Structure 1
Amino acid sequence: MEEFNNKIEQYYVKKVDADKKSIYCHHDLMGELFTTTHKHDKAQLLYAEGDVVFVTTETKTYFLPARHLIWIPNGVVHSIHPKSESVMMRNLYFPVEKGEDAFYQNEGIYPVNNLLLQMMLFTNQWNGDLKKGSPNYVIAKAIKAILPQICLTNLPLELPLPKDVRLNKILRHIENNLGETILFSDVAHQFGYSERSLYRLFQKDLNMSFIQYYTIRRILKAIELLLDRKLSVKEVAQEVGYSSVPTFSNTFFKILGQRPSDYLNGENILKSR
């Protein structure tokens, strides 16, 4: 285990940040690789293909579905947990420049449109440092430059980590019963709260309501099930507690910007290249 952690440390510190002016590129199947908590001086663009990736910071767990990217500003402490060994991770690490757009200062998950997808395809054979002034550096710089213009919808695919230990049991209850309809009033009664006091606890500690947390968690589970490709959309809806497929589809669309059927039929383009 110590040798494994040393390899991770060497990769992220000695390689990514070794040349302060280069753009560092790393594309690879994750295998069983779990990237322990770390940070780097460069900002990171991470694109996932094939399955789900969990990115955990000090305050949140981000849920990165296939065919989406996450932007991680420099200096943000985080760990990376691929859901399966089939995940293809494509990373570009950018040095911070003066006067950058405010976009680059915030973490966020965004869908990848056709333009950005084709540009990512072009990086497929790259690995290591892209030296300033080289053709590949210019192309990578263009990828970074277009992000504020095309990444207009920061998807709410993250859940805050509770600070109040009283919430842990409640959140585990939600996690363990996603296939059932969970009523806020029932949860409050079961765990000995008035509805008003439990509402305040969610808002104060997680900065969101119970229903917001519950809805996002159901949709995140639905994405996992869709990517497994073992269940139909109707069956996925039932697995996350929706008796109505249209209601499930509408909720999925509001959060992810596409219908579950479209997401289910999406192709793993980069993985096959």
Structure 2
Amino acid sequence: MDNKLYVDKYYMTEVDSFADSIYCHHAVMGETFIAEHSHKKGQFLYTEGGIVFLKTPEKSYFLPARHYIWIPAGIRHSIHPSSPQVIMRNLYFPAFHTDTDFFDRVNIYPVNDFLIEFIMFTNRWTGNISPTEASKFAIAKAFKLILPEVSNTELPLALPYPKHEKLKDIVNYLDHRIDENISFKMLAQEFDISERTLARLFQRELNMSFIQYYTILRMLSALKLLLDEKLHINEVALRVGYSSLPTFSNTFNKIIGVRPSEYVKNKNLLL
């Protein structure tokens, strides 16, 4: 089918029209922002042609190429694509008695070739698929059922929002100096706070250590540079504060699951 624009705000008006249907929609985004909203159904979201930030009241998620995000029912979220040309492939599912706690969490997972083929198969469908359409419904339901089986590696491509005012200033400081390789000691001195207190602040407010937060922040920035600005890997490493390319490559691999050279090679498959 030809991808159409998101001009009808279907996600606000149609997704929950029938409680027991599976809703399918593939379209060019057509806009740079989808306002905060929620659904009574769980949402599978896969994108092509750019990157997407998805924000919930608690976290900011980064959805790169060849990954999908699962959004449980009732989770308020807004969507921020890198351009209006991003293609969004959505499947919205009601709850099934076979659901596990996998479907209770917002998470991002890599997509393998099998799941890509399944996603593209659903491209022929638009709108509600009701249980009375036995063949279509069974196939679409199977799509949901296989997700936990093919999604073994969740990626930490999300950063929580701090509520503490001083920590807000601290993470903003880090974000705007991503190329400087700021040490924990330097950060504590800059904000006139003891290292012990700062460590406790990160753990209590964000449920992660400074190094965990800072590493994910740098890798998310690296992903954005690789996708949006198409910089060479050496330059990306420097732009996110790594003077050693092997160290950057190893860290990227640990967080993202592939080395930056592999990511650059594969990222154009569905762009």
1:217 to partner: Cα distance: 0.4
Residue-by-residue CA offset, 1:54-96 (whole Å, 9 max, x unaligned): 1111111111111100001111111111122232111000001
The match for 1:98 is 97
* Residue identity in the other structure for 1:222: A
Separation in structure 1 between the aligned mates of residue 7 and residue 198 of structure 2, nearest angstrom: 41
Separation in structure 2 between the aligned mates of residue 181 and residue 10 of structure 1, nearest angstrom: 42
Matched, 1:146 2:146: yes
The match for 1:262 is 262
Identity among equivalent pairs (%): 52
Residue-by-residue CA offset, 1:10-29 (whole Å, 9 max, x unaligned): 52242000011111011111
User: Given the superposition, is the C-alpha separation of residues 120 and 269 from structure 1 closer, same or farther in structure 2, using an over 3 Å criterion?
Assistant: farther
Matched, 1:120 2:148: no
Matched, 1:196 2:179: no
1:136 to partner: Cα distance: 2.6
* Residue identity in the other structure for 2:212: Q
Residue-by-residue CA offset, 1:88-117 (whole Å, 9 max, x unaligned): 111000001234212111111000001101
Separation in structure 1 between the aligned mates of residue 7 and residue 163 of structure 2, nearest angstrom: 28
Secondary structure of the structure 1 residue equivalent to 2:247: helix
Separation in structure 1 between the aligned mates of residue 84 and residue 208 of structure 2, nearest angstrom: 33
Map residues 36-51 of structure 1 onto 2, 5 A cutoff.
36-51=35-50
Matched, 1:175 2:201: no
Map residues 58-77 of structure 1 onto 2, 5 A cutoff.
58-77=57-76
The match for 2:106 is 107
User: Given the superposition, is the C-alpha separation of residues 237 and 118 from structure 1 closer, same or farther in structure 2, using an over 3 Å criterion?
Assistant: same
User: Given the superposition, is the C-alpha separation of residues 136 and 270 from structure 1 closer, same or farther in structure 2, using an over 3 Å criterion?
Assistant: farther
Assess if the C-alpha contact under 8 Å between 1:8 and 1:36 holds in 2.
Answer: no
Secondary structure of the structure 2 residue equivalent to 1:123: helix
Matched, 1:85 2:84: yes
Assess if the C-alpha contact under 8 Å between 2:65 and 2:270 holds in 1.
Answer: no
Question: Which is further off, 91-100 or 60-69?
Answer: 91-100
1:270 to partner: Cα distance: 4.3
1:9 to partner: Cα distance: 9.3
The match for 1:25 is 24
The match for 1:236 is 236
Assess if the C-alpha contact under 8 Å between 2:32 and 2:82 holds in 1.
Answer: no
> TM-score, normalising length from structure 1?
0.92
Assess if the C-alpha contact under 8 Å between 2:25 and 2:127 holds in 1.
Answer: yes
Separation in structure 1 between the aligned mates of residue 165 and residue 229 of structure 2, nearest angstrom: 35
Question: Which is further off, 92-101 or 183-192?
Answer: 92-101
Gaps of 5+ in 1: 1-6
Separation in structure 2 between the aligned mates of residue 9 and residue 58 of structure 1, nearest angstrom: 25
| Alignment length (residue pairs) | 265
Gaps of 5+ in 2: 1-5
Secondary structure of the structure 1 residue equivalent to 2:124: coil
Separation in structure 2 between the aligned mates of residue 267 and residue 9 of structure 1, nearest angstrom: 30
Secondary structure of the structure 1 residue equivalent to 2:102: helix
1:267 to partner: Cα distance: 4.5
1:128 to partner: Cα distance: 0.8
Residue-by-residue CA offset, 1:190-216 (whole Å, 9 max, x unaligned): 111010011111111111111111100
Assess if the C-alpha contact under 8 Å between 1:121 and 1:270 holds in 2.
Answer: no
